[in-house]
Amino acid sequence: MATFDDDMNYNPNSPPTGESTVDDITGTDDDLMLLDQEDRIQLAIAATLKRRINGVPTRSDGHEHERKVSSTAEAVLKEMLKTLAHRGTPVTPNFVNDYASVLAGAPVGETYAKRFLARHPDLAVKFANPLEELEASQARELLADKENGRLREALFAKKNKPKRGKFSTAHARLMTSDEMVGALLLEFQKKLMAELHKGMKTALAAAKKKVVDEEKRLREEKKQAEKAARPARGRGRGRGTGGRGAGGRGAGGRGRGSGRGGRGGGTRSRRRHADEDSDDETPSPSESEGCASDDTASSPDTEDPTPRRRGTRLRSQAAAQDEATVSDLPASEGDEDIDSNGDEDVDLEEEEASEVELEAERSDIESDGEETGVLAVNGHRWRDGNVEFQVLWEDGDCTWEPLATVDDCAALDDYLAGRDVEDALRLPKRQYRINTQLELTHP
């Protein structure tokens, strides 16, 4: 009997073993026909093992390029069938053939499903019977009818469009989208600002009331101070005129020529240049000492006793102070005479005469033509916390004046109306001028 050596080579000349012996086997194809069935099987196994050891692929692997469905495609088909089986989807041989044809790109044979399961014995696929296939088909029909009915109703049914909300749009929106978040934030800001404006309105009304009350109080105090200062000024001038003796009104009754320098003797400059006038007309030290010795007339006459009209400016205040100082000198002498005589009736008559002289002097100052009216207000500015106005005077001058100079003036009312402001203290802090080409007379 033929045997195999250690290298699995066939040796037909080996000594016979076992029951059957073949002595004349030459090892050719014809010699194989002389072997029995068992020897042929052993020979085939030995030849196959030798080919595997030598690297010869199997028949299926060797014809891999000739297969319609590759190994990779079969692996994908295997995983898909496992997933469908877990989901309960019925699987038939035709189902496997159809999917294999899709993966291969060409139709496969009718026996592909059988050969596929033979190559993958681990895949336990239970093919569906005709009843299960019928039930699945019926379920698909029901689902298709239901979906078609829904689509038909959406297309042809009568529509009642509901009113869109404030934040509704033509397509779906999420509450977390940027557009919706911005709209909600805007609505919240509007509510918050409305509450804030309401509180600010109340606070501003209270603050405005306090400001108005304070201004009213200051005006009342100013009026009371002026009212209290007028009698004292009148008594001082009255005594001074009485002390001038029997000269009468022509000699020194009013004291306008000697005390104030006369109608033509003294000049009044504008209020802004009061310091320059005061330097030129400062009284001598002897006159100052004489004013200090008089306790009854020196202190009231340090200010100009004549009030001026709103919207006008006096030519000089320093000159008025000097005139008042000079006019106090004879008043002190008159007081000494009155005190020495001790005549109370004369004192009363002198006071009445001084009041008459004061009224006459006021009328003379108002009508002497030395006051200049306000022609227009050109602008305003804030300086050291106080508002000043650029005033154009009737004589052509242009100066910056405080609020007290132009208060209650028609030109100021017109300017405030043009700026849409009721109170001058509420003007904006930024400097404003109507005519920027207008130059100041005294910058």
Domains of the chain from N-terminus onward: 3-56 (no CATH), 64-132 (no CATH), 178-370 (no CATH), 371-443 (2.40.50.40)
Asked whether the beta carbons of 128 and 90 are under 8 A apart, the reply is yes
Predicted TM-score (pTM) above 0.75: no
Helix axes 112-119, 93-104, angle to 10 degrees: 90
User: What confidence tens digit (pLDDT) does each residue in 248-297 have?
Assistant: 443 343 333 333 333 333 333 444 444 444 444 444 444 444 444 444 44
Asked if the model's pLDDT at residue 341 lies above 50, the reply is: no
The Cα–Cα gap between 379 and 436 comes to 9
pLDDT of residue 148: 93
Mean pLDDT of 225-235: 70
Mean pLDDT of 322-334: 47
pLDDT band at 204 (very low <50, low <70, confident <90, very high): confident
H/E run at residue 388: strand 386-393
Contacts of residue 399, defined as CB under 8 A and 6 or more positions apart, other chains included, come to 270, 272, 390, 391, 393, 440, 441, 442
Portion of the chain with pLDDT greater than 70, in percent: 54
Mean pLDDT of 379-397: 88
pLDDT band at 197 (very low <50, low <70, confident <90, very high): confident
Mean pLDDT of 300-310: 45
The Cα–Cα gap between 225 and 43 comes to 146
pLDDT of residue 50: 83
Contacts of residue 395, defined as CB under 8 A and 6 or more positions apart, other chains included, come to 372
Between 246 and 415, the higher pLDDT residue: 415
Burial code (b: 16+ CB inside 10 Å, e: under 16) for 11-34 equals ebeeeeeeeeeeeebeeeeeeeee
DSSP string over 81-101:
HHHHHHHT--B-HHHHHHHHH
Contacts of residue 410, defined as CB under 8 A and 6 or more positions apart, other chains included, come to 311
DSSP string over 276-334:
HHHHHTPPPHHHHHHHHH-TTTTTGGGS--S---TTEE-S-SHHHHHHHHHHHHHHHHH
Contacts of residue 396, defined as CB under 8 A and 6 or more positions apart, other chains included, come to 441
User: What confidence tens digit (pLDDT) does each residue in 394-423 have?
Assistant: 888 889 999 888 887 888 888 988 888 888
Asked whether the beta carbons of 401 and 388 are under 8 A apart, the reply is yes
pLDDT of residue 21: 39
Between 285 and 218, the higher pLDDT residue: 218
Mean pLDDT of 203-217: 90
